[in-house]
């Protein structure tokens, strides 16, 4: 994958930019004069190199007057880039010759293995906007999911998962824990809470209206927690996080996240509405366990991918946040596993 970076900066800062670019392999670089005191640079490079470059540009040029950087995804390019040859050139250009180069190389290796941190942050922020469309999608998904579990129809349940917008808020909470970003965490938690609340209201109404003599299998199968449920939630959380960090489509992964969350949630509402409080408690335990597993897997995956803040003082806060969040999720998961063993 390729990225196009557009940089507007003062002319007297162009030497500093050129010095920065010397340490990075770019496919092409063009300079366009705008005004007497401004210049526009157009740079194309591989997505793997975009993160380290953006970090260095932000550190050294972000406070320059008139500086502006935009990054765009390159859908196609002519002539085509020969990736094998490009990778060989990258390996040659990245040869370490002194201690300074070793430090820079180590810093690059510690950055994300996929999208840049800035691009990842923007994608997740866009996916957790709490607006009428988000709430409507949650309501529609809950309606379809409630129909699916009551009709005992797996195909209908999967259809509900396709439209459930639950991927962004859960990955957003994991990213907030990884970066120590309280503002992002509050925004993601609020979106998740409102979405779950909207779905629960729909399911409660369905439970009040529908009172079957016997509950369908799709309802009964979600009134307890098993090892398979924990495995599914852990895999879903990790896969959903990877979908964001690698820039791949999150549609299919979003279905996995929704499978782990929306059906148990609507089963909780339906059973509460029907007065089946004991079974509703089992479904609620399944929903909570899935939240725990998805967030734990998300934080671990972000750490593995090398997601971290830009500045050292932010890194200290993020390190504390990661430790506390991992401790919390691991303790809760351990208690859950002990509970499963005790029940069995």
Judgement on whether residues 50 and 127 belong to the same structural domain of the protein? no
pLDDT at 232: 85
pLDDT tier at 252, thresholds 50, 70, 90: low
**63 shares a domain with 152:** no
CA angle 177, 182, 186 (to 5 degrees): 100
Token pair, residue 269, equals 């509402």
How far apart CA 110 and CA 141 sit, in angstroms, is 39
- Which range (186-195, 214-223, 240-249) has the least confidence? 240-249
What is residue 258's predicted lDDT score, i.e. its pLDDT? 66
Q: How many domains does the chain have?
A: 2
CA distances from 219 to 23, 77, 204, 245, 288 (A): 58, 50, 14, 34, 17
CA distance 323 to 300: 11
Q: Span 132-142, mean pLDDT? A: 92
Do 224 and 314 lie in one domain? The reply is yes
Q: Check: CB of residue 239 under 8 Å from CB of residue 299.
A: no
* pLDDT score for 103: 47
- pLDDT, tens only, 304-322: 888 888 776 778 888 889 9
Separation between Cα atoms, residue 189 and residue 304, nearest integer Å: 23
Q: How far apart are alpha carbons 236 and 262 in whole angstroms?
A: 13
**pLDDT at position 266, please?**
94
Average pLDDT, the chain: 82
The whole-number pLDDT of residue 248 equals 61
| Confidence class for position 52, pLDDT limits 50, 70, 90 | confident
**CATH assignment of the domain containing 56:** 3.30.70.120
Name, of 143-152, 153-162, 245-254, the range with top average pLDDT. 143-152
Domain match, 18 and 163 both: no
DSSP string, 24-38: S--SEEEEEEEETTE
Helices (H), the chain: 14-21, 47-61, 83-93, 99-109, 117-127, 132-151, 154-163, 167-179, 182-209, 217-220, 227-245, 251-273, 277-304, 312-343
Element housing 4 (H / E): strand 2-10
Cα–Cα distance, 16 to 64 (Å, whole number): 11
Residues 75 and 222 in one domain: no
State whether 268 and 153 are in the same domain: yes
Q: Which has more confidence, 86 or 164? A: 164
Residue after which a domain boundary falls, among 87, 109, 131: 109
Question: Are residue 174 and residue 242 in the same domain, yes or no?
Answer: yes
Residues 129, 91 share a domain:
no
Strand order through the sheet with 28-35: 28-35, 38-46, 2-10, 68-74
Same domain, 157 and 98: no
Domain containing 245 equals: 117-343
What is the CB neighbour count within 10 angstroms for residue 70?
9
What gap in Å lies between CA 298 and CA 236, rounded to an integer?
Answer: 9
Contact 185, 174 (CB under 8 A): no
| pLDDT at 254 (0 to 100) | 62
pLDDT, residue 256, reads: 63
How far is the CA of 220 from the CAs of 149, 168, 200, in angstroms? 9, 28, 18
Contact status, residue 271 vs residue 283, Cβ threshold 8 Å: yes
From 87-91, 207-211, 257-261, the region with the lowest mean pLDDT: 87-91
Examine the domain organization and report whether 15 and 59 are in the same domain. yes
What is the structure's pLDDT at 101?
47
Q: Do 250 and 215 fall into the same domain?
A: yes
Residues 6 or more apart in contact with residue 167 via CB below 8 angstroms: 127, 240, 243, 250, 253, 254, 257, 258
Choosing from 56, 88, 109, the residue where a domain stops is 109
Q: Is the pLDDT of residue 229 over 90?
A: no
The predicted model gives 32-56 an average pLDDT of 85
* 3-state secondary structure (DSSP) of residue 72: strand
Residues 177/325, Cβ–Cβ less than 8 Å: yes
pLDDT of residue 98: 43
Give the end of a domain, one of 61, 78, 109.
109
Instruction: Grade residue 140 by pLDDT with cuts at 50, 70 and 90.
Output: very high
Q: Is the pLDDT of residue 201 over 60?
A: yes
Q: Do 247 and 313 reside in the same domain of the chain?
A: yes
Which of 194-203, 227-236, 247-256, 314-323 holds the top average pLDDT? 194-203
Check whether 84 has a pLDDT greater than 80.
no
């Amino acid at each position: 994958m390729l990225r196009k970076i557009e940089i507007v900066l003062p002319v007297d800062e162009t030497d500093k930019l050129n010095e920065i670019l010397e340490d990075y392999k770019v496919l092409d670089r063009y300079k366009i004069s705008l005004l007497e005191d401004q210049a526009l640079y157009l740079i194309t490079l591989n997505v793997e190199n975009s993160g380290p470059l953006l970090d260095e540009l932000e550190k050294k040029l972000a406070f320059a007057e008139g500086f502006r950087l935009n990054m765009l995804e390159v859908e196609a390019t002519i002539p085509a880039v020969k990736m094998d040859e490009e990778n060989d050139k990258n390996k040659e250009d990245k040869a370490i010759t002194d201690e300074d180069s070793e430090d820079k190389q180590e810093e690059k290796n510690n950055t994300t293995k996929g999208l840049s941190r800035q691009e990842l942050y923007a994608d997740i922020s866009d996916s957790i906007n709490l607006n009428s469309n988000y709430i409507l999608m949650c309501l529609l998904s809950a309606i379809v999911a409630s129909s699916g579990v009551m009709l005992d129809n797996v195909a209908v349940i999967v259809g509900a998962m396709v439209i459930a917008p639950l991927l962004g808020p859960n990955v957003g909470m994991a990213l907030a824990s990884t970066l120590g970003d309280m503002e992002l965490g509050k925004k993601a938690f609020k979106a998740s809470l409102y979405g779950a609340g909207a779905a629960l209201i729909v399911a409660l109404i369905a439970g009040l209206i529908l009172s079957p003599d016997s509950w369908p299998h799709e309802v009964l199968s979600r009134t307890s927690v098993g090892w398979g449920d924990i495995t599914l939630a852990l895999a879903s959380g990790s896969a959903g996080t990877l979908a964001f960090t690698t820039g791949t489509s999150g549609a299919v992964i979003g279905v996995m996240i929704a499978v782990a969350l929306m059906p148990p949630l609507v089963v909780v509402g339906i059973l509460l509405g029907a007065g089946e409080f004991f079974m509703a408690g089992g479904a609620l335990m399944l929903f909570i366990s899935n939240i725990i597993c998805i967030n734990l897997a998300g934080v671990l995956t972000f750490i593995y991918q090398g997601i971290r803040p830009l500045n050292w003082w932010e890194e200290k806060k993020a390190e504390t946040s990661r430790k506390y969040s991992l401790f919390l999720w691991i303790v809760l998961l351990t208690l859950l596993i002990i509970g499963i063993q005790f029940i069995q």
